[in-house]
Amino acid sequence: MFSASVIAGLMSLLSVAPEAVLDVPNAGFESIGPDQTLPQGWRREIGGGANASVCVDNGAAHAGSRSLRISNASPLQAFVFAACSSEKIPVTPATTYVVRCFAKGVKVRSCFLGVSFDGGGDRRQYLAEGDFEWRAFRCTFSTPDQCRAITLRFACDDVTESVWFDDIELSPAPRQLTHLTEKRYPKDFPGVFPRSKGPVAEHLAVFDCTRESGAMALLLSTLQGLVNRSAPRLYLIHRTNPPDFDNVWLQYMQEKGYTGTEERLADGAAVIERFRSELGGAIVYDTQLPGAVNAACMIAGVRNALPATAELAERLHLPVVEDLRGRFTHNVDAYRYVYDTHWKDMSHHVLSWIHPLSENPCARDYMAEFNAFCFWQSGYADNEAGADPAAEEEFIDELLSETPANIPVMGWPAHGDHKGIQEYTGVRWLSEYGKFVPGTEFCSNLSVHSAIRPPAEVFRQKHAEENAPPATGKTYLAVNILDSGDALWYWQLHQRKIWADPVRGQVPIGWCMNVTLNDTLPLVQQWYYEHATANDTFFAAISGLGYMNTQVYASRFRTEDRERIWKEYVELTDAYCGKLDIGGVALYNGSWGETTPPDSEVFRHFTRGMPHLRYILADLGRHENIQPDKACYVVDSVPVFHTLTRFQVWSSSADVLEKKREEANAWLAEEIRSHTPSGRPAFMSSMAISWYYYPAWVLDLKEKLGSEYILVGPGELAQRFRVGQGNALPRAR
């Protein structure tokens, strides 16, 4: 007899006919509730005082005579919204569903169909924007193991004249994507990322791409990855923010003796000529179909060629190896073609979620070097040629189910502020398949950086953890940067700007760090370790190896695979932390409204799998169910500190640039005071935002809080807590 898990695994691979449609309350909005303005079985939500309306419309319908209409006159702001939510709908745990609806819009912005899971978490599908007639939208999701009910939600977050919803249908998906058996492939490198062969050339060829077109920069970045396969020989200077950082890191590379003086090449044609004998030619892509750009980059890596427009191929005298023009109708067609014809030649241990038309280098050199599969999920609002969000989602589900767990997905699920899908939705989706996000959106020259091997002794932290008992009547406060440090590019660029603050070192700060910098940007990591002070403490970023949601990690897999995936994930995290003298790990456990810990085993994965773990920093911002007096306790002798402050959210990237120290610190100081535990001595972990909290801001915060609060690093917070509690340590709930 087969076990139940084996049968479930077999069934998940079959394309099965959908079961009967589930009962959605008042799915056509034909029945009106007692107040005569809302559909029966639905409730209105107006958040943040939004100037908005949610009501039944008796004059518009896709079918029948009525629909649900939402109008919103309030511009996009955090927690300002209009929405309508269904009563709870019973579902089966660990099951893949599809919800479909029809929508129509006039001047629509930031409206979505959402699915909220009983027990925590949600999935959002944003609609098209602008004006559109009745149109079908769908959202595919898999329920978590313990989820027995969901809530459907229609919402509007920005100024929208009117959006109508009608005719909802909810049913099991034709292909079930739960209880999966993990696909395993041979691996010929240790750790998380494959690394370039070293050493770096004594005299790198260097070219400045900052004046080149996006198409030429893409071609040259791919060329760089190809020629650096044998050993790093080519280094490119890209447009970076802050500017000129590729030159900054090249100079440091020379200073540390990893390479000598460089040879500057005059123009792009000179770069081509230098390496022409090693190239097969050009893969010509269709400039009108974004997916063909990603496809050309992947095929170029496999065939040792360069992705090029027809004009570039002709101008650079590159013979055409393959012409992709006119061959695909939709972007997803190009991805399926590459998958069907070249998957066997591509890496099965690194993927990349990357917008095809990005003007940034986006680690294209590294992706070409190691043949990473590149894909993109369009949003309905993107309005880009060839987009088919539903078909792309189906393909990505297939790709993720056919690749191993515990692998990085480079790039980012969103492009700019609006294209693609929401960050948290994308990260949750990848986490379900046991994948994590290392944040490489703006990385450059990884094919050079990853070849560098700094001496092991470089990676030792300077902070000292005192064994002295905590002072009576005081609150020990750790101010930690919990966000952005999970992104590799952040350390290569923006963090260096933050660290230039001359005040750094005068106040303790905990910095979350992606430990896989040790694979990809070890030179960059070396700089931070060498320039750290005793008041700078590094801990592993959310959540260990990279950005992932612990609530749902590997949840798509059958139980026995999931247990092994978690074990291997924690073992890898422990190995990297050991090399980097890192004693703490920060975890992302979903949104603020979700229960944390979702399951005590989430923490025990780490406490039992990391023998030298000294503390856990739980939650990216304070969760609703966490009370200050119960926010720190011990699991398997490891102190756990739940974050007791939130962070000032923003609606767009431009908002971040407008933050002022006085306003931000007044807000954060109040957050701290309002959520400080009542007992003394007290122990508290708080969060400051990476983008604008310079060390000088933290010093100012310390002065605002006064002498009641003693600022410490997270390691000292854990040590003081241990000493203060003695043998009477509180236990996990």
pLDDT of residue 650: 67
In order of 187, 228, 262, 343, 576, the CA distances from 190 in angstroms are 8, 20, 31, 22, 11
Per-residue pLDDT at 733: 35
pTM: 0.94
Specify the residue for token string 């309905």.
380
CATH architecture for the domain at 4-172: Sandwich (2.60)
All CATH 3.20.20.490 domain ranges of the chain, comma separated, are 475-717
Residue 101 in 3-state DSSP?
strand
CB 164 within 8 A of CB 27: no
CB 461 within 8 A of CB 531: no
**What digits encode the pLDDT tens for the residues 534-569?**
999 999 999 999 999 999 999 999 999 999 999 999
Strands (E), 417-495: 419-420, 435-436, 475-481
The CA-atom distances, in angstroms, between 255 and each of 228, 234, 261, 527, 725 are 21, 18, 10, 11, 47
How deeply is 400 buried, as exposed, middle or buried, from its count of CB atoms within 10 A (0-12, 13-18, 19+)? buried
What whole-number distance in Å separates Cα of residue 538 and Cα of residue 528? Answer: 10
C-alpha span between 223 and 278 (Å, rounded)? 10
CA distance 649 to 394: 32
CA distance 97 to 141: 6
- Residue 127 tokens read as 């609609």
Residue 606's pLDDT is: 97
C-alpha span between 401 and 435 (Å, rounded): 10
Q: Which residues of the chain have pLDDT under 50?
A: 1-18, 727-733
Q: Which residue has the tokens 């509690």?
A: 725
What residues have CB less than 8 Å from 139, skipping those under 6 apart? 98, 99, 113, 115, 123, 124, 125
Write the secondary structure of 198-237 as one string of H (helix), E (strand) and C (coil): CCCCCCCEEEECCCCCHHHHHHHHHHHHHHCCCCCCEEEE
**Per-residue pLDDT, 416:** 86
Q: What is the CA radius of gyration of the chain?
A: 26
Helix, strand or coil for residue 47? Answer: strand
Tokens of 121: 């978490």
Determine the pLDDT at residue 14: 38
Beta bridge partners of 180: 557
Class for the domain spanning 475-717: alpha beta
pLDDT at 298: 98
User: Distance between CA 113 and CA 169 in Å, rounded?
Assistant: 12
Distance CA 479, CA 487 (A): 20
Are 533 and 504 in contact, with CB atoms under 8 Å apart?
A: yes
Instruction: Give the Å distances, CA to CA, from 122 to 594, 622, 641, 647.
Output: 10, 18, 25, 20
DSSP H helical ranges for 659-713: 661-674, 695-705
Which uninterrupted H or E stretch holds 44? strand 42-47
pLDDT at 8: 39
SS3 call for 165: strand
Q: Where in the chain is the domain with CATH 2.60.120.260?
A: 4-172
Q: Which residues contact 257 (CB under 8 A, 6 or more apart)?
A: none
The string of pLDDT tens digits covering residues 333-387 is: 999 999 999 999 999 999 999 999 998 888 999 999 999 999 999 999 998 999 9
pLDDT for position 15: 39
Tokens of 348: 């099965």
Q: Give dist(CA 413, CA 353) in Å, integer.
A: 6
Residue type, 656: V
The reported pLDDT for the residue numbered 210 is 96
